[in-house]
């Protein structure tokens, strides 16, 4: 499953969206996702994908923007969360 497909699945499950609403180019604003919901969902994605998203202000306006952000984090070893030492 690709990053985009996983994010689409999570959006359907956690945000109660339909398949049509989670298409890659779909505007988050158009489907009624406000900035607070986006921030909360991004925290969920950090846990789900094991990454730490940077504090940079990357615009996230569409479903594809979210997938691109996660893919960039996964490609950057500094953003992959390290397991806690025992």
Would you name the residues annotated as active-site residues? 34
Q: Which backbone phi and psi does 4 adopt, to 5 degrees?
A: -60, -45
Q: Are 35 and 59 in contact (CB under 8 A)?
A: no
Which has the closest alpha carbon to 51: 30, 76, 28?
Answer: 76
């Amino acid at each position: 499953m690709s990053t985009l497909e996983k994010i689409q699945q999570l959006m359907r499950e956690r945000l109660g969206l339909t398949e049509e609403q989670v298409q890659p180019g779909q505007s988050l604003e158009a489907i009624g996702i406000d900035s607070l919901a986006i921030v909360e969902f991004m925290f969920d994605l950090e846990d789900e994908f094991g990454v730490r998203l940077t504090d940079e202000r990357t615009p996230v306006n569409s479903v594809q923007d979210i997938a691109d952000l996660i893919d960039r984090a996964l490609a950057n070893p500094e953003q992959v969360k390290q397991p806690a030492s025992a």
